[in-house]
Amino acid sequence: MNLTRIVMIFVEGTTDLVFYERLLDKIFKATMLKRAPEEVEELVRTIRGRRCSHLRLEERDVIVILVDCGGFDRARELLKEYLLREDLDTLIANGLYALVLAGDKDRKPKEVLESMIRDVMNHVDIKFMRKDDKFVASINGTSLSVYYIEQGHKKEIEEWLEQVLRQKYRREAEAIASLERMLGYSLSPKQRIGIFEALLTEHEGVSRLVAKLLEVIDVDEITEKWHYVIERLRTILS
C-alpha cells in the first residue's frame, strides 16, 4: 500500500488559512477533514493548541495540514522547529513529504527560508540541496522538500477580499462608506472586512465570511488573480 504523503503549510493568520482552504477545495478538489487523521497525529503533536486545518486530496493521496501561526515570524520559527526535530527522519519515513513557508512578498519568504536553511545546517547534520525553487533535505537516507510561497504584496489577500466584497455586496459597501464619511476618515481594509463580517455572517467570524465569499466567486476569477499561488501549490502537491 502506498504511503500517504503529508504536506505542512505554515501561514500567517486566520484569513490566510481559510484562503488556502478554499483554494485547495475549489481548485484541487480537496476534502476538509473534521479532525486530524491517524497519519498525522504524531506530526501535529508539537503544535496542539494552534488552529490547524486538515484536507485530503484523494486523487493525489496527499494530506495537507494548514497551520495558523499567528504571524509570519512565528510561521518561520515553527517551520524551523520541525527541521530541528530529533525525530525528523521518522516523520519523513511516516509520510512527511514537504514543509512550506507562505507569506506576503514584502516579508521575503524566499530570502527568509534561505537564511533559515543556512542556520539549520550550522546546528544539525542535515544536508540541503537547492533544486530549482525548493530545497531538498537529506536525513539518514530519507529526503524532505522545503518550499516557499510568495502570495502577493502586503495585505494583498485582505485587499482583494475587500474589493470582491464591495462588488458582491454593494448595499453593505455603501453603508460602510457612509460610516467613513460620518467619521471623517477612512477605515483600514481589516476594519472594513470586520464590518462586512458583522453585517453578513451574524458574528460568525471573519473565517466564515471568507469561506462564504470564496464559495460564490467564479473559479476562473480566482485562477486569474492567484495564478502564481495556484501553480506553486500544483508543484508542491504533484
What is the pLDDT at residue 74?
Answer: 94
Region 71-86: mean pLDDT is: 92
What is the pLDDT at residue 3?
Answer: 73
For residue 208, pLDDT beyond 80: no
What is the pLDDT at residue 101?
Answer: 96
For CA atoms 17, 23, 28, 34, the dihedral sign is positive
Region 121-142: mean pLDDT is: 85
What is the pLDDT at residue 1?
Answer: 43
Q: Cα–chain-centroid distance for residue 52?
A: 10
Nearest Cα residue to 209 out of 172, 155, 179: 172
Region 41-68: mean pLDDT is: 86
Complete domains list, the chain, with CATH: 5-152+227-237 (3.40.50.10620), 156-217 (no CATH)
Region 139-154: mean pLDDT is: 86
What is the pLDDT at residue 203?
Answer: 65
Region 40-59: mean pLDDT is: 83
Q: What is the C-alpha separation between 47 and 69, in angstroms, rounded?
A: 9
Phi, psi of 3 (to 5 degrees): -80, 130
Q: What is the C-alpha separation between 26 and 30, in angstroms, rounded?
A: 8
Q: What is the mean pLDDT of the chain?
A: 87
Dihedral angle over CA of 159, 160, 166, 169, nearest 10: -130
Please report, for residues 172, 177, 178, 187, 195, the alpha-carbon distance to residue 182 in angstroms, rounded to integers and kept in the order given: 15, 9, 6, 12, 15
Residue 31 is classified by DSSP as E
What is the pLDDT at residue 215?
Answer: 76
C-alpha cell at 9: 503549510
Q: Which helix (H) or strand (E) holds 159?
A: helix 156-168
Nearest Cα residue to 55 out of 94, 12, 21, 11: 21
In sequence order, the β-bridge partners of residue 63 are 6, 56
What is the pLDDT at residue 204?
Answer: 67
Of residues 152 and 197, the one with the higher pLDDT is 197
Of residues 132 and 146, the one with the higher pLDDT is 146
